[in-house]
Amino acid sequence: MKKIFLILLICTAFACKKSEVDGSDITRYSWPLVSATVSPAMVINGKAETNFKTMAGPSGCLNNNYTLSFSKDGSYAFTSNGPLCDMISYQNSTWTKSGNEITLSDGLGHDTKVTLSGNSITQKYVFEQNGTTHTVTYLYTAKK
């Protein structure tokens, strides 16, 4: 009985081993949005809210399989299957990578820096509303 338990324990340990993301080729993965957290919290309907994904409601783009994808030709796209989300065009978008920093150029003169760390990409977006500066931290994780 002890031998069977030991064999099962060893098999479980190997089965649960997480694979590392090959940071040298981010095009091998899709990068779905896992979370979008705003700080400081925003007041929505009288309640403090930090989950930026839910603020646009259930049909918002961030709540509907919002994914970042990189192509080998140097282009990228954000995709979502929410209503009207396909109206966002990324026809001239390009990306470059230097170390762990990825620069996203939208083709309209706007560059955004995101950071690759392990199997995650982090993006920060800063905006001001009613005199308060808010930062949204988007977290994407690699998926094969």
> What pLDDT, in 10s, does the model give residues 41-54?
999 889 999 999 98
Going by pLDDT thresholds of 50, 70 and 90, the confidence category of residue 40 is: very high
The arrangement of secondary structure in 21-141, i.e. its CATH architecture, is Beta Barrel (2.40)
Average pLDDT, the chain: 85
> What pLDDT, in 10s, does the model give residues 93-118?
999 999 999 999 998 899 999 999 99
How far, in Å, CA of 25 to CA of 72, rounded?
9
Q: Name which residue leads in pLDDT, 66 or 3.
A: 66
CA distances in angstroms from 48 to 37, 119, 138, listed in the order given:
12, 30, 19
pLDDT score recorded for residue 79: 87
